[in-house]
Amino acid sequence: MNRTLLALDLSTAHGSIAVVRGADVLFQSSFQSERSHNAQVFAPLRDALAAAGDGLTGIVIGNGPGSYTGVRIAIAAAQGVALSRNVWCVGWSSLTAPDIEAPDSYPIIGDARRQSFYLARVANGRLLPDLETVSAEIARERTADGQTWLTFDAKPPLELSHLRSAKPSALHLAQIIQSLNASEVDALMQQPLIPHYLAEAFITMPKKRVN
């Protein structure tokens, strides 16, 4: 379909923004930022909106997994734009949109924190539901299967040498959503726009005060 889509991914230190109209790329920008996405995203976002003009149809956010802060900034920025432009806003897995040439299906490994690692698989632009969080020992065993595994981590997990490194591409995200039909987009719009959490949030409780 000939939608005009704005895509935004801040799930890693590599920020990415793109605008597409049908098969045409109207805008593409990226930047590197460890912890200051909120300071760097608004200039390219302004330029992206200018490129989209008045015909913006919808917005897609890469919802991770990755940086909770980055994804939340992307969601907040996108929801503000969606409200002001009266357009829809949906989330899609960042793991489906590598910035490198990849096969239609591929396995992925990433650091899930707390001495654990996630193992996932993408098929035809979709993250399959059997994502697992496993120990380092199991991650080493699973990735020694002769397949080429991708990672979106800045440093290869477990110092594995046979991984291909990639970064999320907002352009690829936009192209995936562009390929969906109207009913698939409608179904996405009904889903909550939240970060992809690999585990429940860890909350540190305050220590009891001793008198």
Alpha-carbon span 36 to 125, nearest angstrom = 29
pLDDT (0 to 100) of residue 208: 56
pLDDT tops 50 at residue 203: no
So where are the chain's domains? 4-96+167-189, 105-165
What CATH number should be reported for the domain whose range is 105-165? 3.30.420
Measured between alpha carbons, how far is 121 from 113 in angstroms, rounded to an integer? Answer: 19
Residue type for position 146: G
pLDDT value of position 2: 86
How does pLDDT run across 128-171, given as a tens digit for each residue?
998 999 999 999 999 999 899 999 998 999 988 889 999 999 99
One-letter amino acid at 31 equals: F
Residue ranges with strand state E in the chain: 4-9, 14-21, 24-32, 58-62, 88-92, 105-113, 116-123, 126-127, 132-135, 149-151, 163-165
Q: Which CATH class is domain 4-96+167-189?
A: alpha beta
